[in-house]
Amino acid sequence: MSELRKDPIIGRWVIIAPERGKRPLDFNATQPSASPKTPPLTCPFCEGNESITPPEIYALRQPPSTPNGKNWLVRVVPNKFPALAIEGNLDKRGKGLYDEMHGIGAHEIIIETPQHFASFTPLPDEHIQHILTTYQARMQDLKKDTRFVFGLVFKNVGDRAGASLEHSHSQLVVTPIVPIRILGEIGGAQHFHNYRGRCIFCDIIHQEIDDNERIVINDEHFIAVCPFAPRFPFETWILPKQHLTHFETTPSDLIPDLSHITKQVFLKLEKALNNPAYNMLIHTTPFTMDSPEYYHWHIEIIPRITRVAGFEWGTGFYINSVPPEDAAKYLQGVK
């Protein structure tokens, strides 16, 4: 079982998840740096290959169909090599200065399409709605477990972004700890709210609309912007315009609009950057918090076209050579 361990200085948790049978020398740097792409014939995520994955946890299916058979639209399975295990107790404990607990949590794969697409952009808007409502359903289910406090939906596309399988999929990791990155955002947003009595994300949306310099798409219910202080070239965020705290309880009548803007943003990024590697992630309020006035869910998209080096690791500063105004203007123009 993996262990969660806390850095005592900075308070950051890490997951120590030894890969069974892998010895230190297996990390020898002459080995290929990434898993080879699985050829479509044996892709475990393709329709017809359902038996290669662990049994499904959830699926949107079309009749006639049976669990773990064909005829599905979106399918959720446990990660075959999970970072966190669903069974067991946390067994929180100290070791002198150090804190650790068992690596308990959920680690699921959302297979976004039965066909072997490398992106979800060829799918119709209606299918993307199915993907988004699947994220919601899985989070709704897992938040019932009182061991869990936070869920992150994310997507790695391309070797440089850490993807090991090409078939379009995303992941959901649910943790027993609110992650430091989320604590940082919540802390900042709380501080702002204490001082001004408003949600900082709502204020950002208003300022972005007023400034009109960093908007990629401005729809009725959602806005896509290149943020004012982006870490990476072409970093893009999607935010609901109304104050919504939890992604998983976003009203169903907004999902068609969210599907539409998400697909449009990715179409633009894929075209502008020629199918870049990227990470996408959804930042949402922890399960354990009701609907705070100060925190607002949003999607962050990080094209991985530059390297992160010693300066970034050492300082937490990022050097970005594309001003977000230029990136937004460029993406606006991409049809």
Contacting residue, 21, 32, 64, 96, with a second copy by CB under 8 A: 96
Per CB under 8 A, contacts with a second copy among 259-278 are 272-277
Is residue 323 within the footprint of a second copy (CB under 8 A)?
A: yes
Contacting residue, 161, 238, 239, 258, with a second copy by CB under 8 A: 161
What is the sign of the dihedral through the CA atoms of 192, 198, 203 and 204? Answer: positive
**In whole angstroms, how close is the CB of 53 to a second copy at the nearest point?**
20
Measure the CA dihedral 262/130/113/282, to 10°.
50
Residues 6+ apart with CB under 8 A from 148: 105, 106, 142, 174, 175, 176, 287
DSSP calls for 123-170: S-HHHHHHHHHHHHHHHHHHTTSTT--EEEEEEEESGGGT----S-EE
Strand pairing of 72-78 and 58-61? antiparallel
Check 102, 107, 167, 169 and give the catalytic one: 169
**In whole angstroms, how close is the CB of 121 to a second copy at the nearest point?**
15
Per CB under 8 A, contacts with a second copy among 232-251 are 233-234
Residue with tokens 């203007």: 329
Near a second copy by CB under 8 A, which window of 58-66, 230-238, 241-249, 257-265? 230-238
Is 169 among the catalytic positions? Answer: yes
Contacting residue, 224, 246, 281, 287, with a second copy by CB under 8 A: 281
Is residue 255 within the footprint of a second copy (CB under 8 A)?
A: no
Give dist(CA 165, CA 37) in Å, integer: 6
- Asked if 223 and 317 touch (Cβ cutoff 8 Å), the reply is no
Per CB under 8 A, contacts with a second copy among 30-69 are 30, 33-34
Is residue 280 within the footprint of a second copy (CB under 8 A)?
A: yes
Residues 6+ apart with CB under 8 A from 277: 157, 158, 159, 160, 161, 163, 303, 304, 305
Is residue 15 within the footprint of a second copy (CB under 8 A)?
A: yes
- Asked if 74 and 130 touch (Cβ cutoff 8 Å), the reply is yes
Binding mask 174-213 for a second copy (x = CB under 8 A): -x---xxxx-xx--xx--x-------xx-xx--x--xx--
Is residue 119 within the footprint of a second copy (CB under 8 A)?
A: no
Is residue 78 within the footprint of a second copy (CB under 8 A)?
A: no
Near a second copy by CB under 8 A, which window of 86-94, 139-147, 245-253, 318-326? 318-326
